[in-house]
Chain A
Amino acid sequence: MWKLFVTRVIQAIFTLWVVSGVVFFSARITGSPDLALMPPDALPEDRATFRAAYGLDKPIVVQYGRWLERVLHGDLGKGIQHKVPVVELIGPRLLNSLKLATVGVVMAVVLALPLGVVAAVKRGQLWDRIAMGVGLGGQALPSFWLALILVLLFSVHLKLLPATGMGTWKHYVLPGFTLGWFITAGATRLVRSSMLDVLDAEFVKLARSKGVAELWVVCKHALRNALISVVTFLGFMFGIVIASSITTETVFVWPGIGRLVFEALLVRDFPLIQGIVLIWSAIMIFLNLLVDLAYGLLDPRIRM
């Protein structure tokens, strides 16, 4: 267990370091920041002074080292557009995104778990077909398009739910559903297939032959073991939530971090983009790490 823990932590730190390098150097591909920060008609001497003042005359590796040091102290610089420290800009937006992600994940768990279980138990029947339909549909529907269709239906035509912004619980329904739909589909497929595997296992047959009630067999013996594979999916699930939150929040003008990154991309606000990518990556890598470790605890076979 220790060895697993140590290798995974080292790997996570290494991944984060790679991300930071990619983020830093990609921003420098188009040239030194003084081109963007100074007026185009600035004198060469002024440019030289400016570059010296900000350490831009040093070798790029040294610059990277100094940048990394500041990042480690929580200083991600100021955004070009809003002139506010990036950390302050990201904080509240991240909270909004997490609220939305929670709605999506709760929806996935509430819908996918029963649907997947029933589909596996009543294999080939109506519920199974519904579950398969949800699974296939979730993969095929692009979330940004689903979002637009929901707006068209519920906001434009039926006028039931607000299309943009946040405030009341009604604002959560459409974006939450959009975000949840994708992972609900994946989770349903996963619960169904792992339940099918477990229901076939020897210990479930033994429980049945002992005369344990079917409901108890399904809920206690089978579901508990099927959930192990669902846990591994959680990390992947957050990855999907993060990726689709960019398009979902853009459509619903949700003041979250996905919308923020889209705005930053439009005005090419590099410090902000770098900050978001770094923080986001850190969250994702950390979640993956947690999932790996939880998996190690749940399934002794991989504790090597």
Chain B
Amino acid sequence: MKRNTLSASASDPFQGFLAAARTLPKIPTAIVILVFLTAICANLLTGMLLPEANQIDLRLRYTAPWPLQGSSPTHLLGTDRLGRDLLSRMIVGARNSLAVAVVAIFVAATVGTILGLIAGYLGGWADAVMMRCVDIMLSFPAILVALVFVVTIGASFWMVVTILALLLWAHFARLVRGEVLSWKERDFVALAKVAGASTPRIIVQHLFPNIFNSVVVLATLQIGWAIVVESALSFLGAGIPPPEPTWGNLVAEGRDVLDSAWWISVFPGLAIMLMVLSFNLFGDWLRDVLDPKLRQL
């Protein structure tokens, strides 16, 4: 079935698009869009429809999720130890977690793509130096070193973004370099060279458009991973510092009261799982449609 989609897309772009759209995984895509919209409108939602995420009300501590005993419909998913609304905190947490993941992926993809393009096209020592750096990055116990940095410099939004970007850029650089190596031998590049195009022009105008799809696919597939790592860092207290909620530090907050107030850990964790699962399924689909070569990734 997938093969049909691909051959159709080669013959007629519009038909191909329709055929591809029909194989779109509907539920995962819907979840991704829904969570993104919620994250973007987080301030609107928590201000108008729901209580503020940091609004403390000690009388309502550990309210159970609705419709369990002692709950109220104003706190659908219950409240935490300070009486803050869990749903509101999860929505703001979605904004924080997604912002970190998306910004980090963007930075890593940009840096990795630029370095991969240059190294792949120029070859020689530039390539050798960069590939050694990539090798080192990939065998680096990066999570640990990241933790050291967090302790010395302090946790913040940009710290987490930097860490994730440092962990990820090597994957992009390696992918792009490999792609460039196969593209740069093609005739159209040779023609451009003969026509007098400069090196930057060849890279930007002729090579970059051809590798763009692969970068997008890898970025989508890596977002799930970035969300998981971000939440793990938050869980360890090395992510965005509280009281600002993230999915990871919400799970951590509920850890000590697991037997009495299970919902504080369970719902944010479910959110992480659903989001990552959806992103991966969506990424798999995107890969099949845009870039069947990458199926091995």
A26-B152, A140-B224, A265-B238 as given contacts; A145 in contact with B251, CB under 8 Å: yes
Is B82 on the interface with A (CB-CB < 8 A)? Answer: no
A142-B269, A277-B144 as given contacts; A268 in contact with B151, CB under 8 Å: yes
Is A108 on the interface with B (CB-CB < 8 A)? Answer: no
- 1/0 per residue A8-48: CB within 8 Å of B? 00011011001100110011011000000000000000000
Is B255 on the interface with A (CB-CB < 8 A)? Answer: yes
Is B119 on the interface with A (CB-CB < 8 A)? Answer: no
Chain B interface residue bracket vs A: 35 or more
Whether the pair B140, A277 counts as a contact (CB closer than 8 A) is: no
With a 10 A CB-CB cut-off, give which of B145, B151, B248, B277 has the most chain A CB atoms. Answer: B151
- Among residues of A, the one whose C-beta sits closest to the C-beta of B230 is A142
Number of interchain pairs (Cβ within 8 Å): 135
Whether the pair B136, A145 counts as a contact (CB closer than 8 A) is: no
A142-B273, A265-B151 as given contacts; A19 in contact with B228, CB under 8 Å: no
Is A250 on the interface with B (CB-CB < 8 A)? Answer: yes
Whether the pair B141, A277 counts as a contact (CB closer than 8 A) is: yes
Once bound together, how far apart are the Cα atoms of A281 and B178, in whole Å?
28
Chain A residues with CB below 8 A from B143, complex form? 242-243, 246
Residues of B138-170 at the interface with A, using a CB-CB cut-off of 8 Å, are 139-141, 143-145, 147-153
Once bound together, how far apart are the Cα atoms of A141 and B141, in whole Å?
21
| Nearest CB of chain B from residue A271's CB, rounded to whole Å | 12
Whether the pair B236, A242 counts as a contact (CB closer than 8 A) is: no
Once bound together, how far apart are the Cα atoms of A142 and B262, in whole Å?
17
Is A193 on the interface with B (CB-CB < 8 A)? Answer: yes
Whether the pair A276, B144 counts as a contact (CB closer than 8 A) is: yes
Whether the pair A14, B151 counts as a contact (CB closer than 8 A) is: no
- Among residues of B, the one whose C-beta sits closest to the C-beta of A250 is B236
Is A247 on the interface with B (CB-CB < 8 A)? Answer: yes
| Nearest CB of chain B from residue A107's CB, rounded to whole Å | 20
- Among residues of A, the one whose C-beta sits closest to the C-beta of B136 is A15
Is A273 on the interface with B (CB-CB < 8 A)? Answer: yes
Is B296 on the interface with A (CB-CB < 8 A)? Answer: yes
| Nearest CB of chain A from residue B1's CB, rounded to whole Å | 11
Whether the pair B224, A139 counts as a contact (CB closer than 8 A) is: yes
Whether the pair A261, B255 counts as a contact (CB closer than 8 A) is: no
Whether the pair A262, B152 counts as a contact (CB closer than 8 A) is: no
Is B132 on the interface with A (CB-CB < 8 A)? Answer: yes
Chain A residues with CB below 8 A from B232, complex form? 142-144, 243-244, 246-247
Chain A interface residue bracket vs B: 35 or more
Chain B interface, >50% SS class: helix
Once bound together, how far apart are the Cα atoms of A142 and B268, in whole Å?
11
Is B62 on the interface with A (CB-CB < 8 A)? Answer: no
| Nearest CB of chain B from residue A262's CB, rounded to whole Å | 6
Once bound together, how far apart are the Cα atoms of A183 and B205, in whole Å?
41
Give the residue of B141, B258, B266 whose beta carbon is less than 8 angstroms from that of A242.
B141
Chain B residues with CB below 8 A from A243, complex form? 141, 143, 232
Whether the pair B135, A11 counts as a contact (CB closer than 8 A) is: yes
Whether the pair A145, B269 counts as a contact (CB closer than 8 A) is: yes
Is B276 on the interface with A (CB-CB < 8 A)? Answer: yes
User: Which stretch in A63-71, A75-83, A87-95, A148-156 binds the other chain?
Assistant: A148-156
Chain B residues with CB below 8 A from A136, complex form? 277, 280-281
Give the residue of A140, A156, A288 whose beta carbon is less than 8 angstroms from that of B277.
A140
Give the residue of A242, A266, A277 whose beta carbon is less than 8 angstroms from that of B148.
A277
Chain B residues with CB below 8 A from A239, complex form? 141
Is B32 on the interface with A (CB-CB < 8 A)? Answer: no
Give the residue of B141, B151, B255, B276 whose beta carbon is less than 8 angstroms from that of A251.
B255
- Among residues of A, the one whose C-beta sits closest to the C-beta of B265 is A148
Chain B residues with CB below 8 A from A22, complex form? 145, 148
Once bound together, how far apart are the Cα atoms of A266 and B266, in whole Å?
25
Give the residue of A29, A143, A152, A280 whose beta carbon is less than 8 angstroms from that of B144.
A280
Whether the pair B272, A142 counts as a contact (CB closer than 8 A) is: yes
Is B231 on the interface with A (CB-CB < 8 A)? Answer: yes
Once bound together, how far apart are the Cα atoms of A260 and B3, in whole Å?
51
Chain B residues with CB below 8 A from A12, complex form? 139
- 1/0 per residue B211-242: CB within 8 Å of A? 00000000000001100100110011110000
Is A204 on the interface with B (CB-CB < 8 A)? Answer: no
**Can you report 29 residue pairs joining A to B where beta carbons are below 8 Å apart?**
A14-B136, A18-B140, A26-B152, A30-B153, A139-B224, A139-B225, A140-B276, A140-B277, A141-B273, A142-B235, A142-B276, A144-B235, A145-B273, A149-B269, A152-B262, A152-B265, A156-B258, A243-B232, A247-B232, A265-B147, A265-B236, A273-B147, A273-B151, A274-B148, A277-B148, A280-B144, A281-B140, A284-B139, A285-B139
Residues of B in contact with A (beta carbons under 8 Å apart): 132, 135-136, 139-141, 143-145, 147-153, 224-225, 228, 231-232, 235-238, 248, 251-252, 254-255, 258-259, 262, 265-266, 269, 272-274, 276-277, 280-281, 296
Question: Closest 5 CB pairs between A and B?
Answer: A145-B269, A140-B276, A140-B277, A243-B143, A288-B139
Other CB < 8 Å A-B pairs besides A142-B251, A265-B236, 10 of them?
A: A136-B281, A140-B280, A142-B228, A142-B273, A152-B258, A156-B258, A246-B236, A262-B236, A265-B237, A284-B141
